[in-house]
Amino acid sequence: MYELFRHLRPKQLAYEQLPILLLALTIAELFYKFHSFLLETGAFLATWYAIGALYAALKSVLAPARVDASDTPR
């Protein structure tokens, strides 16, 4: 968690990770009834990870690759 906050800018946290976190939290609250804090927390974290991975995959497929000016040959 520390690394997440350390490496991402506040804008990325607010616009990308917060909605993913809230979606995972909602799914966990509605569907995970394991009667064990440890199991429900683990399932929530796994859900958060899976939704984040899905978002990253969709973002890389749907967003065009950015061409940096320093990458162009001279």
Domain ranges in the chain?
14-61
pLDDT (0 to 100) of residue 72? 56
| SS3 of the chain | CHHHHHHCCHHHHHHHHHHHHHHHHHHHHHHCCCCCHHHHHHHHHHHHHHHHHHHHHHHHHHCCCCCCHHHCCC
List per-residue pLDDT tens for the chain, 74 residues long: 678 778 888 888 888 889 999 999 999 999 999 999 999 999 999 999 999 999 989 988 988 766 555 555 55
